[in-house]
Amino acid sequence: MTHPAQPKASHFINGEYVEDTAGTPIPVIYAATGEQIATVYAATPAIVEQALSTAKAAQKEWAKMTGTERGRILRRAADITRERNHELSVLETYDTGKPLQETLVADATSGADALEYFGGLAGSLTGEHIPMGEDWVYTVREALGLCVGIGAWNYPTQIACWKGAPALACGNSMVFKPSETTPLCALKVAEILHEAGAPAGIYNVIQGMGEVGGALVADPRVDKVSLTGSVPTGKKVYAAAAAGMKHVTMELGGKSPLIIFDDADIDNAVGGAINGNFYSSGQVCSNGTRVFVQKGIKEKFLARLAERTGNAILGDPMDEATSFGPMVTENQMNIVLGYIEKGKEEGARVVCGGARADMDGYYIQPTVFADVTDDMTIAREEIFGPVMSVLDFDTEEEVIARANDTEFGLSAGVFTNDFSRAHRVIGQLEAGSCFINSYNDAPVEAPFGGVKASGVGRENSKEAIKHFSQVKSVYVRMGDVEAAF
Ligand code: NDP
């Protein structure tokens, strides 16, 4: 019998599901059991062509609609997404292995927020009037054209919406390629947009590995590429986009600092460290994986952290009591276990966890290392799993320098009750998305994105509009034209 997670077909193009079994089969594995629950097929060149040509053809008419009309469709899609939240959350759990306790509140719901927010903004996108004496200049905010979205596997619904909603609000069309690891959820986003009234071709989804993404990025009809992925992939995609002078948004990896001063509320700081390391089993780009704790509270902090981490409930992700799920794939589990071994070899102290969990599926125990030093591999490289490194520090000046000593710059957080210190420290941290006495909040109203190797451009908020549109400037002369001859 077909598993309920099996989609009707692999691709959604021009308003309908499309199959082409000539593509490479991609098995979809449920991370909690290792069972194959679905199969999709990578896009063949014919499918890539169909996706691009229909998206290209649909865009001009879509851009001619008023922003209010486009926005209405996006807001309707938000409503449908919310109505189906349970069903979509179950699918997200099958796709990623993340516990239903999380997916019910963080995935389709955050996708719906993006559809609603950008749907609301669509009608308000205007240009400027710039007086020049009796002449004037006016500006028009225009769509870029055909955009490509490429997603990572940790938030398949959210990423599909965070890219699709602002792109469509501005009058662009989009071809979205999810990660081959989590191909199911974006198809639902396309289906819902279509049901809400989006014209055929405006939001197409096709499957495939890196080479399908590469074919999309290289196509001369594509005007913009928005990628969520790792830094190495980001460098390749950015270079390929540059060859065609395309716009880019790069949402890449991080190794973000979370700084806890000794005057902080310990339980809040522990809560921030847990949210910033163990949500989605640590598979979050903005995680604060380098937790710098001022020496005066170190042991107290570690004791409370170990106690609360011990309350994590590992288990069946479909059971709403489960608060901690498996790694997305066996491969990702092995990568993370490799980092854990490296941490032990390099002399870090295991405070809790430190091994695979003794159960079926790709579960790793939430792991805390203490006595981590800046040069250790676990303090330098993005692990993308439930591994927290706790480092000690003495002074504010020292911790700022050490926090910034990384190629990454996605996020940063500070816990302190001294508000002038909080702002002073945040002001000096090289990161795009920061938190004071909190960690990992990502409301659609706030810009999200990184500096340094962590990315280019911003998602969410009004900033995203700038990255999915361009400004045309028009000079209007009222009098005669003076010329030299
Ligand atoms: P990858 O970089 O491996 O892949 C990202 C996407 O790019 C996938 O869909 C992948 O396809 C595709 N891809 C790979 N090679 C190419 C290429 N040459 N041209 C075009 N597309 C290509 O990332 P992961 O999926 O492993 O996700 C984890 C990474 O994503 C982490 O580094 C994490 O920090 C980052 N991330 C960043 C976020 C942010 O907003 N800053 C949010 C979430 C994650 P396929 O995998 O199917 O081969």
Which helix or strand (DSSP H or E) is residue 294 part of?
A: strand 290-294
Digit-coded pLDDT (tens) for 325-382: 999 999 999 999 999 999 999 999 999 999 999 999 999 999 999 999 999 999 999 9
Nearest CA to ligand 1 atom 21: 213
Measured between alpha carbons, how far is 194 from 141 in angstroms, rounded to an integer? 25
Cα separation, 402 vs 382, in Å, equals: 16
Using pLDDT thresholds of 50, 70 and 90, give the confidence band for residue 158. Answer: very high
Per the CB < 8 A criterion, the answer to whether 111 and 160 are in contact is yes
The Cα 20–Cα 4 span in angstroms is: 20
Residue 29 confidence (pLDDT) above 90 = yes
Among the options 251, 298, 382, 434, which is catalytic? 251
177 Cα nearest atom in ligand 1: 9
Question: Which tens digit of pLDDT belongs to each residue from 133-157?
Answer: 999 999 999 999 999 999 999 999 9
Distance 181 CA to ligand 1 centre (A): 10
Tens of pLDDT, residues 96-143: 999 999 999 999 999 999 999 999 999 999 999 999 999 999 999 999
pLDDT band for 252, please (50, 70, 90 cuts): very high
Ligand 1: does its nearest atom lie under 6 Å from the Cβ of 180?
A: yes
Q: Quick one: how far is CA 413 from the chain centroid?
A: 18
- How high is the pLDDT of residue 376? 98
Q: What is the model's pLDDT at position 142?
A: 97
Whether residue 414 has its Cβ less than 6 Å from ligand 1: no
Amino acid symbol at 231:
V
Tell me the per-residue pLDDT of 448-478, one tens digit each, with 9 for 90 and over. Answer: 999 999 999 999 999 999 999 999 999 999 9
Report the distance separating Cα 454 and Cα 317, nearest Å. 30
Structure tokens at 215: 């074919």
190: nearest Cα among 277, 270, 297, 111 = 111
> What is the full DSSP assignment across 302-359?
HHHHHHHHTT--BS-TTSTT--B---SSHHHHHHHHHHHHHHHHTTPEEEE--SB-SS
pTM of the model: 0.97
Is pLDDT at 1 greater than 80 in this prediction?
A: no
Q: Is the pLDDT of residue 280 over 80?
A: yes
In short, whether 253's Cβ falls inside 6 Å of ligand 1 is: yes
Strand (E) or helix (H) holding 142: strand 135-143
pLDDT digits (tens, 9 = 90+) for 384-430: 999 999 999 999 999 999 999 999 999 999 999 999 999 999 999 99
For residue 73, give the 3-state DSSP assignment: helix
Per-residue confidence at 225, pLDDT binned at 50, 70, 90?
very high
Q: Any idea which residue has 């799920």 for tokens?
A: 325
Give the pLDDT score at 24. Answer: 98
CA of 151 to the centre of ligand 1 (A): 6
Residue 285 CA to ligand 1 center (angstroms) comes to 11
Using CA atoms of 192, 195, 197, 201 in order, give the dihedral in degrees to the nearest 10: 70
Q: Using CB atoms within 10 A of its CB, is residue 117 exposed (0-12), middle (13-18) or buried (19+)?
A: buried
Match 């599901």 to its residue by tokens: 17
Identify the residue whose C-alpha is closest to ligand 1 atom 39. Answer: 251
Of 79, 71, 142, the C-alpha closest to 109 is: 79
The rounded mean pLDDT for the chain is 98
pLDDT band at 293 (very low <50, low <70, confident <90, very high): very high
**Per-residue confidence (pLDDT) for residue 254, from 0 to 100:** 97
Regarding the beta carbon of 381 and ligand 1, being less than 6 Å apart is answered: no
**Euclidean distance between CA atoms 207 and 179, whole angstroms:** 8
Q: Which of 53, 228, 55 has the alpha carbon at shortest distance from 157?
A: 228
Within its chain, how far is the Cα of 138 from the centroid? 35
CA of 95 to the centre of ligand 1 (A): 16
